[in-house]
Amino acid sequence: MHIPDGFIPISQCIIYWIIALVALYFSVRWASAKLEERQIPLFAVLAAGIFAIQAMNVPILWGTSGHMVGAALIAIIFASPWAAVLLLSIVLILQGLIFGDGGITALGANILNMGIIGGFVGYYLFKGTKSIGEIPAVFIAAWASIFLAAIACAIEMWIAGTFPLDKGLAMMGLYHAVIGIIEGVLTVVIVLAVQSARPDLFSFKDWGKEKAEVLSK
Amino acid sequence: MKSRDKKLLIGGVIIALIIAVLAPFLASSNPDGLESTAEKVMPNPETEPAIESPLPDYTIPGFGKEGEVLALVVGTIVVLIIAYGISAALKAGK
């Protein structure tokens, strides 16, 4: 759902840029306060992996395709939506600058949808639903992160005068309800793989606890 | 760097690079959800990019599939280095 240039008037692009820059400021603050040295290799490989997997479009129905975004994954692994904002911003900026995937003028909106909305929906839905079981909670959080990012995108396209509201919401919602299933399945697979490879960096058992609490047990 | 961190980095990069190499051959060329919607509701969904990107749509102009593989491999490594550099520069407890 990378928005290209020309879909949003510049005056509205500026508003999304400001939102993205404020969120980036907070994500930098999060990294300076919470991102530990031992987490850096995982942060870097997940960024590289998300960049690569975003090029792997999977066909869905109706002649359409979609790919994993990864914001819920990052928010869950690092137990913070700001981690998703920071990592997705790095990926989206490089995609926009080097590969023409997502417009430069629309970069703020793309960071808002995929990084901020994706990360916050992913984090808070996982946190709120993990009592029903962590794996279904990861799936629900990842599915909703895509679906709600697409709904936000449809509303932005309507404000921009680019999509009609009813058709935009219906089609963006329908397509991304299906793409969200891909996001959900892959997020569950990757979360479990990280937990089994490096339980010291991520585990359901210690989720959201500070390092000191984990070590003192 | 600890050996298990090295293992994580190398293992993770190998997986990312496998995806990057396969994507040009396996990825669907169907429009994505946003493009698909745009084609159906916009009279003219083709818009011009504001800047020329050096590797448009993950291609190296004139180099076909090999160019796409190379563009994605280079991109994956650049993202790795930049994400590592930024997180190392920002990390807590400096």
pLDDT profile of chain A (217 residues), mean per 10: 94 97 97 93 97 94 92 97 97 94 95 98 97 97 98 97 95 95 97 95 88 59
- Contact call for residues B85 and B68 (beta carbons, < 8 A): no
Q: A61, A65, A73, A80: which to substitute to probe chain B, counting the most B Cβ within 10 Å?
A: A65
Specify the pLDDT at position A215: 59
Other Cβ atoms within 10 Å of A153 Cβ, number: 28
pLDDT at res. B79 = 97
- Tell me what pLDDT residue A179 has: 95
- Chains A and B form CB pairs within 8 A to the count of 217
B38 CB neighbours in chain A (<8 A) are 7, 162-163
**Cα-only R_g, chain B:** 18
A213 in any annotated domain: no
Reported as a single tens digit per residue, the pLDDT across B14-62 is 999 999 999 999 989 899 999 999 999 988 888 888 888 888 888 888 8
Q: Give kind and range of the element (H or E) at residue A15.
A: helix A10-34
Q: What is the pLDDT of residues A131-140, one digit of tens each?
A: 999 999 999 9
Question: Are A86 and A31 in contact, with CB atoms under 8 Å apart?
Answer: yes
B50 touches A: beta carbon within 8 Å: yes
Quote the pLDDT of residue A191.
97
In three-state secondary structure terms, B72 is helix
- Looking at residue A210, its pLDDT comes to 75
Do A2 and B58 lie within an 8 Å CB cutoff? no
- Six-digit token pair at A196? 């089994």
Instruction: Chain A: give the shortest CA distance to residue B40, in Å.
Output: 9
Grouping H, G, I as helix, E, B as strand and the rest as coil, residue A59 is: strand
Chain B nearest-CA distance from A38, in A, is: 8
Half-sphere exposure of A157 (CA within 13 A, CB side): 32
| 3-class secondary structure, B94 | coil
B67: nearest Cα among B79, B81, B54, B48: B54
Question: What's the token pair of residue A167?
Answer: 């058709």
pLDDT score recorded for residue A121: 98
Structure token digits, residue B16? 């990312």
Placement of tokens 């998703």 in the chain: A84
Contact A67 B54 (CB under 8 A): no
Asked whether the beta carbons of residue A41 and residue B38 sit closer than 8 angstroms, the reply is no
Task: Tell me the nearest-neighbour CA distance from B55 into chain A, angstroms.
Answer: 5
For residue B46, what pLDDT is reported? 84
Cβ-contact A101, B58 below 8 angstroms:
yes
CATH code for the domain of A147: 1.10.1760.20
Helix (H, G, I), strand (E, B) or coil at B10: helix
SS3 A100: coil
B3 touches chain A (CB under 8 A): no
DSSP state of A111: I
Domain limits, chain B:
3-90
Number of folded domains that form chain A: 1
Name residue, tokens 């994580």: B8
- Smallest CA–CA distance from B19 into chain A, residue: A52
CA distances from A124 to A37, A65, A79, B38 (A): 25, 27, 10, 30
CA atoms within 13 A on the CB side of B70: 10
Which residues are bridge partners to A65 per DSSP? A59, B32
By residue range, what is the domain housing residue A35?
Answer: 10-203
Whether A159 and A12 have beta carbons less than 8 Å apart is answered as yes
